[in-house]
Amino acid sequence: MPNTLVHLGVQGLVLRSIASDRYLAWVAVGCVLPDLPWILQRVCKRLQIPVDPFDLRVYCIVQASLFMCLLLSAGVAQLTRDRWKIFQILALSSLVHLLLDATEIKWGNGVHLLAPFSWRLVRFDLFWPESAIVSAVTLAGLVLSGWLIVKWWRVRPHDLQLRLPDAQRWMLGGGAAASYVLLPLALMSAPEQAGNHSVGAFRARWTQSNLAVEMYRAHYIVDEQGHGALWTMDDRPLEVLGLDLPSSARVSIRGVLLDGETIRVDEWHRHAPARDVATAVGLLLVSMLVLASARPRSPTDQRSSPASTRAPQPR
């Protein structure tokens, strides 16, 4: 993904076509929705939850596809008063998010717009995350999201429009949520067979040799003796031929797994660390928007806003 600030800026602008300032918190939620599986993957790794790392990766690949995002959007929308509007916002936001993700060069990676019918990764390979254009849009995203937040702060009440679901909504929302969690388990083999993220090759590297692989933002760690190793998605070091960096870094590579423990690097790109900072700032902004919107409304809020008179009727 481009960093979250890029998503906030670009999606904030695009979504203005269908969502007024009152829905800004939901626009912000839509900016992170397709990345939830990747956040989940990080959490699982941080907490050292005992799950097969390859299975976890393909599970997340399935969950990050457009159709799963639509399913989650439909489920979440059942908790709101204006469910059709919120679904539209989350669905369009997910589509724009994935299209933005596809603009970046991500070896072995990409997005799924046609899954479950096709598990071919879609990517347009236009820019590296460090390119001048991504940096410019990141800066614009920061300014724009700051401006949107100030604007949104003035339009009170901030309201997520939550409501308690009735029986029909419980069924629809519960069904969508259950499918979001369980359906990937049934679909996990397809992306692996399609070569997504080189999962199949990494899984087979102990029994097969000369497997072509691509890695996106892998950890290259240099130890105290100055010896560098590439770390795989199953958290094991690989002896590296064809790449020797003076310090640890995130790198994307194309190469060949010669055996279970050695990789020959044919092409590589070193990433800048700034992206993680921009994503952290973006996630903080999104959380602030959502938390502020979820806070109980005071009588002053309700009196001070002309928007409150335009609040949609419960459906």
Residues in touch with Zn ion (CB under 5 A): 1, 35, 101
- Backbone angles phi and psi of 233, in degrees to 5: -70, -20
Residue of minimal Cβ distance to Zn ion: 1
- The answer to whether 68 and 94 are in contact (CB under 8 A) is no
Minimal distance, residue 1 CB to Zn ion, in Å: 3
Minimal distance, residue 103 CB to Zn ion, in Å: 11
Rounded CA-CA distance 184/308 in Å is 40
Q: Judged by CB, which is closer to Zn ion: 104, or 159?
A: 104
Q: Judged by CB, which is closer to Zn ion: 5, or 243?
A: 5
Q: Judged by CB, which is closer to Zn ion: 101, or 214?
A: 101
- The answer to whether 254 and 266 are in contact (CB under 8 A) is yes
Rounded CA-CA distance 262/1 in Å is 28
Minimal distance, residue 13 CB to Zn ion, in Å: 17
Q: Which two tokens stand for residue 11?
A: 């999606």
Cα–Cα separations (whole angstroms), residue 115 to 62, 69, 170, 191, 194: 8, 11, 26, 9, 12
Minimal distance, residue 221 CB to Zn ion, in Å: 25
Q: Judged by CB, which is closer to Zn ion: 204, or 272?
A: 272
Minimal distance, residue 153 CB to Zn ion, in Å: 27
Q: Judged by CB, which is closer to Zn ion: 1, or 176?
A: 1
Q: Which two tokens stand for residue 5?
A: 């600030």
Tell me the one-letter amino acid at 59.
Answer: Y
- The answer to whether 1 and 39 are in contact (CB under 8 A) is no
